[in-house]
Amino acid sequence: MRHLPQVECCTGKSGDSIRNLPRMSRQLYVQQFARRLEPKVPKNTATTIAGWIVDLNVEFVISRPRKSKLGDFRPPHQNKPARISVNADLNPYNFLITTVHEFAHLGCFLKHGRSVLPHGAEWKKIYVEMLRPFLTHSVFPESLASAVRTHISRPVASSCSCPVLSKALVRFDANPGQLLDELQPGEVFAFRDKLYRVIEKRRTRFLCHQLSDGRKFLISGRAKVQAETAAST
Ligand SMILES: [Zn+2]
């Protein structure tokens, strides 16, 4: 029996080539992946992504949440397939955009090898080409679609680095919170289980005062925080 590239976990064998399977088998593989992806992605998008996983022979991992990144890509290496992982806790729209981001890395690798920058013009072109069809098929609610349009007009390395998109995306999180960018000096917020007060904005980061021990930190304006009400300060 063939082993499938893994979705949901990274144990077990993976990466047997499935490109030469008869057509029905490909469809079955796509259906299986699509079923596993459906809870994670917006409606009507799972089959497209499952098709990429199967056709490009990717080990696709829905990863435990990582603070340092939303997803990552590892090119194929020594008979091992390309590997893409995406954080399990992303809201469906962010999961989709991150997935497209990582598949664009694979597309760029297949076309240009290692000769181009990871988020250079070649990657941007492929990323936009892969993301644009989701816009034309009403996948995103209108409030988010306009942010995605703005994003693809000048794509940056990650949705977190695009202020318009990250602000629009955070509203769909299960626990929405706010971006630190939206707070004013003097406001208090919770971030990674600690309370801070905003002192001032410095370029893209904010100088903040940690309330428990008085230390000062620079925190990215893109950080998702929970603003505290005045009473709790
Ligand atoms: Zn990237």
Whether residues 87 and 202 fall in one domain = no
- Final residue of a structural domain among 117, 144, 170: 170
Whether residues 129 and 201 fall in one domain = no
Whether residues 33 and 84 fall in one domain = yes
User: Among residues 181, 177, 220, 183, which one has the least CA distance to residue 89?
Assistant: 177
Query: What's the domain range around 213?
Result: 178-232
Whether residues 109 and 132 fall in one domain = yes
Give yes or no for a contact between 71 and 50, defined as CB atoms under 8 angstroms apart. Answer: no
Ligand 1 center from residue 209 Cα (angstroms): 32
Ligand 1 center from residue 82 Cα (angstroms): 14
Instruction: Record the pTM.
Output: 0.73
Ligand 1 center from residue 211 Cα (angstroms): 35
Question: 45-100 pLDDT, tens per residue?
Answer: 999 999 999 999 999 999 998 878 899 999 999 999 999 999 999 999 999 999 99
Whether residues 58 and 159 fall in one domain = yes
Helix (H, G, I), strand (E, B) or coil at 68: coil
Could you give the CA distance from residue 33 to residue 214 in angstroms, rounded to a whole number? Answer: 49
Ligand 1 center from residue 188 Cα (angstroms): 32
Question: 3-53 pLDDT, tens per residue?
Answer: 444 444 332 333 344 455 566 688 999 999 999 999 999 999 999 999 999
- Final residue of a structural domain among 170, 197, 215: 170
Whether residues 186 and 158 fall in one domain = no
2 is a domain residue: no
Whether residues 72 and 117 fall in one domain = yes
- Final residue of a structural domain among 138, 170, 202: 170
The total number of structural domains in the chain stands at 2
Whether residues 108 and 186 fall in one domain = no
